[in-house]
Chains A and B, each alone.
Chain A
């Protein structure tokens, strides 16, 4: 009988199939014994790695492209392989020489006192492993189609270059549900489980439940049969849902519901057909502000925002201004050592305190607005002054751009409704162009219970009558005042909450892209 392991679900879905171990490639290589052949093998592996990265660079944008550009520049520099070449001349096999040389470089970066330099160690490891894979004749993505990738952690580049067309899963001993890869996995509907701790050395087949966070290593026949049945049921349900993907979401009484998507990175857009949704309801701009990376400048942000707006081809795109703080720290921006970060300097509180950062973002947004239907919203608003100050700053940025002769527009400015003070008295915020209910934070603040603490997680229930009453209140006020209201939290994608949301009068929901078909199918039944 296979062993069951409990981790944390990072992306929903079921998987049963073969395993591909991450980062174990070099062990499979046998040295040729000739100095010339070993040197040539290393050179070829480096050239192939550069070629991989060049191909990959064509498919990504912004920060991901910078990361890859840096890796290419490192690989193209003979100084990187010089110590390895010397070791090979002394009789060391190519893969050992390369590993040793890169481990030396990596140690140098890891020893740095500077966060920015320390963070580059991950890039060096990525470079090391890519070349090792080519050295062992195991090309970067060969053999991964339809397999579960299993390892300690996974590099974003590994996710991006994996061919997911045949399905697959990600199973990590460490890892995090908030990592960039976790977001990408949710967007593509790839089941992912993190934090499993030690797993057996020899795993050939694995069953993965990304929803519950459970995996079974080397399941026996009975376990496989049970899992296959669950998989078949899921796949059949998905097949039924698929029929609704490109149709407008319509209730039985004919009411049309707008279904928009929540996205974080530009890479996600490659796999989503804009015709399957009514726009982007929440673009989390934090993805541009990665911990340990330099702050993105105006042009970098402008190019990224423009990509979203152009992708949507006239459909509305709502970009949320920087929402860091709380559980999303960025060194150099968010305060250290806050006693209670969820009640601290986060969202609009932080951006108003860091006007330089806010201005750069607002200018980039005003420039991107020229290219389509852009709306902007500010998170964590508590008092009307935060909205009016943000609006005044936005106006000033637009005036500044216009004076500089730079093309720009002033997009409508709305607010996230997630602080109970706003949900209780939405009429104080009549100046907002729209309301977007952030049900995750609203639930956490109304119930005073965190989702991340298993001991109180059951109290954190979006179905609590108080949460529902507040949502209904905001929807009702919006209707009366002519202010559009939508909801962009996780509860929008859980069918058990759907009836209550529609009953509250909501006609616009924003969900993870992988949920579109399921949600439209559920709406058709109500």
Chain B
């Protein structure tokens, strides 16, 4: 059964989508069967959340909003997982946390 899901989250991590967070994000994304995409604006351009090369190329900074969308059998779970990871500051408390 295929579904679609989407959501958005503000990046609070103090350096944004940097190397280590990007590694974690793409590893997480690859764990889902659905296609999973992220973007810096609601209109896109949408990029593959499973590609670290493309995720890093976004250069998403702290306080910017990350839009997430997915399509596939586990779409909702995938979107929820990404949003939760970003909310948890990628599980690394940086400066000031």
Contact = CB atoms under 8 A, between A and B. Distances in A.
A120 B95 contact: no
A117 B94 contact: no
Nearest to A67: B19
A154 to B, nearest CB: 21
A297 interface: yes
B59 interface: yes
Contact of B56 (A120, A295, A297): A120
Given A80-B53, A105-B53, A120-B56, A70 B20 contact: yes
Contacts of B56: 74, 117, 120
A296 to B, nearest CB: 9
Contact of A116 (B18, B26, B92, B93): B18
B19 A120 contact: yes
B18 A357 contact: no
Contacts of A222: none
Choose among B14, B16, B59 the residue with the greatest number of A CB atoms under 10 Å from its CB: B59
Given A73-B26, A332-B95, A294 B52 contact: no
Contact of A79 (B16, B27, B53, B96): B53
B20 A66 contact: yes
Interface in A69-85: 69-70, 73-74, 77-80
Given A297-B93, A297-B94, A73 B52 contact: yes
A329 to B, nearest CB: 16
Interface size class of A (residues with CB under 8 A): 20 to 34
A297 B93 CA distance: 5
B25 to A, nearest CB: 10
A108 B57 CA distance: 8
Choose among A70, A332, A357 the residue with the greatest number of B CB atoms under 10 Å from its CB: A70
B53 A116 contact: no
Interface string B61-97: 1000000000000000000000000000000111111
B18 A294 contact: yes
Interface in A418-473: none
A298 B96 CA distance: 11
B19 to A, nearest CB: 4
A299 B89 CA distance: 14
| Contact residues of A: prevailing secondary structure | helix
Contacts of A300: 92
Contacts of B16: 114, 116
A69 B56 CA distance: 14
Contact of B53 (A77, A298, A299): A77
A356 interface: yes
Given A74-B53, A112-B59, A295 B94 contact: yes
Contacts of B93: 297-298, 360
Choose among A77, A105, A114, A294 the residue with the greatest number of B CB atoms under 10 Å from its CB: A294
B23 A70 contact: yes
Contacts of B51: 77-79
Contact of A123 (B15, B19, B92): B19
A323 B14 CA distance: 22
Nearest to B27: A73
A105 B59 CA distance: 12
Contacts of A120: 19, 56
Closest 5 CB pairs of A and B: A79-B53, A70-B19, A295-B95, A79-B51, A297-B93
Interface of B: 14-16, 18-20, 22-23, 26-27, 48, 51-54, 56-57, 59, 61, 92-97
12 contacts: A67-B19, A70-B22, A112-B59, A116-B18, A294-B15, A294-B20, A294-B92, A294-B94, A294-B95, A295-B94, A298-B93, A357-B95
Given A70-B23, A114-B59, A117-B59, 14 more contacts: A66-B19, A70-B20, A74-B52, A78-B51, A79-B54, A117-B18, A120-B56, A294-B14, A294-B20, A294-B94, A297-B92, A297-B93, A299-B92, A300-B92
